[in-house]
Chains A and B, each alone.
Chain A
Amino acid sequence: MAVATPSADFVAVLHEYQPLLRRVARLYCQDADDRQDLFQEMVLQLWRAWPRYVPQPGAKLSTWLYRIALNVAISNLRQRTRRPAPVGLDAEALAVAQAPETGYDADDRAQLYRAIGRLSDVDKAFILLYLEDRPYEEMADILGITQNNVRVKMHRVQEKLRALLVPAA
């Protein structure tokens, strides 16, 4: 199947935001193959949506990208049909955002990832946007709910995460 050559601006955008897409894939997929599949699917959907992208005053490109990445991740079927979702993340996933050790025990981090892996897809979206340091306003715009509800839901997800961490603590 022939594919039109990607435009330079699309390549530049993808180059800039590739880490973002990889982070989304890492949070949603435990298996390396699934992660690569999801990354490719996100790139494909971005490519298809790119001609429809119209920059709006005051709107960030990242918001548009997060929407597509999360929509693809949440509605992605493949990794679920291939095998049941494992409880934790594999070694490669645990390397996500792995800055030099800052004194925290790697086991603690592994526990946290395992707990995140047990959250629902929607809860993971809240966690992802929180980790990405998105303001509530942008989170609301990405998810399609009000800022107040983002705040409430975020609080609930964090509580859920703490509850999941308690038995392991």
Chain B
Amino acid sequence: MELDDLRRQWQQPDPAALPPVSPAHLEGLLLRNSGSLVEKMRRNTWSEALLTLLIVVGIPFYTWNTWGQALHTTMAGVMLLLSAILLVNYYRQLVLLRRMAQAEAQVRTHLGTLCAGLRQLLHFYYRLTMASGPLTLLLLLGFLVGKELARPGDFRWPLIAGLTAAFVGLGAVVQVGVGRLTRWYLQRLYGQHLDRLEASLRELDDAE
């Protein structure tokens, strides 16, 4: 059987197989959540953004209870700054994901948008994960130094130097592990999908 033979039959479906479309039936279809990768990423980003907003809302309560203690106020300030940076990034991600979710472009254009957007998001996730380790250690070290400064008596240089060395050593080991784990995780979660989309895009580009 040739493709042309199939074409002759193709557009003659069995009408009984098609359920009628009614507004109620359609509402039922539209009620479900989209299963697309982009929609899942959008939902995750919204959740993360809301969580960050909760932290931002919680910070004034924290500073209220520890008002006047320079160390805690500084920590709250740093947290607020980090949250603000994260929120800006979440906003940019949502704008990008919204653009990626618009499926009415030409297939080649849409695939290009998806590939570029997904790659951009994966870089962002990777960079964010890689930055969070050193940042956490830096905050912890800052906190310990602050406590040491606030303590009456001499500043214990050997202790702080030892802690710093331990943090740097531990941080380096953890960073390598986290880097490998993040790459593996992102590849498992999104990488294969990206590879497939890029292969599809290449196929269309080959035609050019």
CB of A145 within 8 A of CB of B204, answer: yes
Chain A 28-51 interface residues, beta-carbon cutoff 8 Å to B: 37, 40-41, 43-45, 47-49
Chain B residue numbers with a CB within 8 Å of A10 are 26
Residues on B with beta carbons closer than 8 Å to the beta carbon of A143: 106-108, 204
* Contact partners of B21 in chain A: CB under 8 A: 11, 14-15, 18
| Residues of B participating in the A interface, judged by any CB pair closer than 8 Å | 1, 3, 5-14, 17-18, 20-23, 26-27, 29-38, 101-111, 114, 193, 196-197, 199-200, 203-204, 207-208
What distance in Å separates the Cβ of A2 from its nearest Cβ neighbour in chain B?
9
* Cα(A37)–Cα(B36), bound, Å: 10
Given contacts A23-B10, A96-B10, A122-B204, 4 further A-B contacts (CB under 8 A): A19-B18, A45-B103, A78-B36, A99-B9
Cα A19 to Cα B14 with chains together (Å): 10
A7 CB, nearest partner CB in chain B, Å: 9
Interface contact B102-A52, CB-CB below 8 Å: yes
Choice from B22, B36, B109, B110 contacting A77 with Cβ under 8 Å: B36
Q: A122-160: which have CB < 8 Å to B?
A: 122-123, 125, 127, 130-133, 141-146, 149-150, 152-153, 158
Across the interface, do B13 and A96 meet the contact criterion of CB distance under 8 Å? yes
Given A105-B1, A131-B3, verify A149-B207 contact (CB < 8 Å): yes
Contact of B11 among A97, A142, A149 (CB under 8 A): A97
The majority secondary structure among interface residues of chain A is: helix
Q: Say how far B115's CB is from chain A's closest CB, in angstroms.
A: 10
Contact between chains at B10 and A11 (CB < 8 Å): no
Indicate if the CB atoms of A97 and B32 lie closer than 8 Å. Answer: no
CB neighbours (8 Å) of B35 from chain A are 37, 41, 77-78
Summed over the interface, the residue pairs from A and B with CB atoms below 8 Å come to a total of 170
Q: How far is the CA of A109 from the CA of B7 in the complex (A)?
A: 11
A70 in contact with B107 (CB, 8 Å):
yes
Contact with B along A113-124 (1 / 0, CB 8 A): 000000011110
Q: Bound state CA distance, A72 and B72, in angstroms? A: 50
Is there an interface contact between A72 and B102, defined as CB atoms closer than 8 Å?
A: no
Contacts of A158 in B (CB 8 A): 3
Taken together as a complex, chains A and B put the C-alpha atoms of A96 and B114 apart, in Å, by: 30
Q: Are A22 and B13 in contact, with the CB atoms below 8 A?
A: yes
Does B107 contact A67, Cβ atoms closer than 8 Å? yes
Residues in B neighbouring A40, C-beta threshold 8 A = 29, 32
The answer to whether A71 and B103 touch across the interface, beta carbons within 8 angstroms, is: yes
Once the chains bind, are A98 and B31 in contact (CB under 8 Å)?
no
**Can you give 21 A-B contacts (C-beta < 8 A)?**
A5-B27, A6-B23, A10-B26, A11-B21, A18-B18, A23-B11, A41-B35, A52-B102, A67-B107, A71-B110, A75-B114, A77-B193, A97-B10, A98-B13, A98-B14, A99-B8, A122-B204, A131-B10, A144-B106, A144-B204, A161-B3
Chain B nearest CB: distance from A137 CB in Å? 13
Q: Considering only CB atoms, which chain A residue lies closest to B11 in the complex?
A: A97
- A136 nearest CB across to chain B (Å): 12
Collect the chain B residues with CB atoms within 8 Å of residue A91's CB.
Answer: none
Asked whether, in the complex, the Cβ of A52 is within 8 Å of the Cβ of B106, the reply is no
Partner of A141, one of B30, B38, B103, B106: B106
